[in-house]
Chain A
């Protein structure tokens, strides 16, 4: 009887030490769920979801504060991925937050730009290059197409231009199977 109790207590102590050590040693910094949700979000940083960026939206989803259908750039595929990850029911995109659009990049009309730097301050990914009273330009490869620079421009010189289909980003189409012709 006593031996059994000692054995159990001894085991409990030993395992407790192991668990305690593991908790310290393999401590996970931050919320892994937020990181997983953030990995699904398109990182446009456009704020259409009502949060000031993708990370805050991911945090809000993780805490149950926001719904999974508030991200138009992520599209339907994004909602499906979030539903799969969180074990929630899929729901169509909430139209209040906007409609998905083809991926675009901002283009500054350099003849009109007055060099006010307002767009530079608005860009969430520092994709606009320029200085006060000097012409600005968009680094197209870094632009996420969030449209946040369009509104602050006092001379309306920023356009959102959809990315054209070129040989290097062209995709094979889904095969269309011919149906049997019936006279």
Chain B
């Protein structure tokens, strides 16, 4: 048993609204006619499409393979035909479309050949690689590929493995129901994770507003071959944040900009442990997940739905959206966002759909000026100064915002929740973060361009010098030849001289060496010509 729990700074306790969706067990949904599977369902590189349009695929077949280390695969949630690979609306705050694979369901739900893996005899690297191609990602919301976190790192051995079942955000109950109903399977997943990481200690952290889940997990952990502790942590939002849960359970803080592994801790969501178990012991990749559908619906509850199902269709399974529905929120009320398109598909990150009506979430009153009350600083679980960050973000003073550790902000929304001026603080932080990321990218591109330009100039200079060297070599060669040429030139001159002399000798003039009689005749003719010219001149004048 855990002897002592610690406290993290700040936190808030909004109304929980969890009872509505925990009265019924997890329900399956009818297979939809069509599934739309975005390639971008995780952090990191987009996976590479492995199927063609028109291809028949089986349930669990690989549709897109992980590309690079930080990436995860996408599989077919049921059997059917690939009808399109194109841009479709995805559940993203931007409302921009992205590449998706559309699967026309044949209704037969035929599995591809699959079976359990003997992970202990396979070798750890091989198991990690299999997990990468099984599409296992963190299901707590960040969807970071889990195989990356399950690699053993010699520099930072993981001593404590923490399983996150805190589920601190209001309305969301998918992990709660999963722990109540499938505790034994989660524990089997924890055993695999413990084996891969070589952790000495395993702790499951569950908020104390979920006594049934904690009970079920305790019972399952008691059966396990390895010691797994179950700790009931105080219900305080955001106690399910990885850094906050680590602080509560171990008393250690993850330093700014560092990963939990650097203090020897690794943290996974309980649903991730469940998917690891499903893959290792049953050979099933991640093709479905548990989703809470709650809010303005007739039968709120949890559903086990295939990935790619339209969210509007999923809401139909819960009785459909009630009158006065304004929007569909994906995630919780604190960190979620309103879906730009309700027909967007369910993805690995979709833990909860809140059908929101105006009574539940009235439009926020207009923001008032900041009065510097610092209530946000008291509530901030990351120990930041939200009011300062707000001023910096508002005035586009991004360098200062970064200096004040903007990137330690987990966007939990506690500051906005307590703000008496109702300032949408998190929106300012998101704005500043994305601007800084864009600036950093531009800087990287500029550095690359500078390097390439310098290399090009150096290359041109080098080529110029090489050319000059070549010319110089040629000129030097010509000169050397010229020195040896003097004799040649003299020979040519002599030859020309000879030719001239020869020509003079050979070509006789027909007026030379004449007989005296002929000479006299010529003289006489010339004299006559002279006279004729003279008389002509006289007549002309």
Contact = CB atoms under 8 A, between A and B. Distances in A.
Interface of A: 38, 41-45, 53-55, 124-127, 142, 144, 165-175, 177-180
Contacts of B366: 177-180
* B-side interface mostly: helix
Contact of A175 (B94, B428, B457): B428
* Best-surrounded residue of A38, A168, A172 (most CB of chain B within 10 A): A172
A167 B94 contact: yes
Nearest to B427: A175
Contacts of B367: 177-178
A177 to B, nearest CB: 5
B453 interface: yes
B446 interface: yes
Given A171-B438, A172-B434, A45 B40 contact: no
A179 B452 CA distance: 49
Contacts of A42: 442, 446
B433 A124 contact: no
A162 B16 CA distance: 46
Given A167-B96, A178-B367, A126 B456 contact: yes
The 6 A-B residue pairs with the shortest CB-CB distance in the complex, in nearest-first order: A43-B446, A43-B449, A175-B427, A171-B434, A172-B430, A125-B452
Interface string B361-389: 00000110000000000000000000000
Nearest to A45: B453
A42 B442 CA distance: 8
B450 A172 contact: no
Contacts of A43: 445-447, 449-450, 453
B96 A125 contact: no
Interface in B78-131: 90, 92-94, 96, 98
A169 B444 CA distance: 14
Interface in B373-431: 424, 427-428, 430-431
B455 interface: yes
Interface of B: 40, 90, 92-94, 96, 98, 366-367, 424, 427-428, 430-431, 433-435, 438, 441-442, 445-450, 452-457
Contact of B427 (A41, A55, A172): A172
B408 to A, nearest CB: 18
Nearest to B435: A171
A76 to B, nearest CB: 11
A66 to B, nearest CB: 18
Contacts of A45: 449, 453
B403 to A, nearest CB: 16
A144 B454 CA distance: 14
Contacts of B40: 167-168
A172 B433 contact: yes
Contacts of A127: 452
5 contacts: A42-B442, A166-B96, A175-B431, A177-B366, A178-B367
Contacts of A167: 40, 90, 92, 94, 96, 98
B492 to A, nearest CB: 43
A164 B212 CA distance: 50
B419 to A, nearest CB: 13
A124 B453 contact: yes
B398 to A, nearest CB: 10
Nearest to A146: B449
A143 to B, nearest CB: 9
Contacts of A53: 453, 457
B336 to A, nearest CB: 15
A166 B98 CA distance: 8
Contacts of B447: 43
B96 A165 contact: yes
A166 to B, nearest CB: 6
B449 A173 contact: no
Contacts of A169: 438, 441
Nearest to B430: A172
* Best-surrounded residue of A127, A167, A169, A177 (most CB of chain B within 10 A): A167
B449 A172 contact: no
Given A55-B453, A124-B453, A175-B431, 9 more contacts: A38-B450, A42-B442, A43-B445, A44-B449, A172-B427, A173-B431, A175-B424, A175-B427, A175-B428
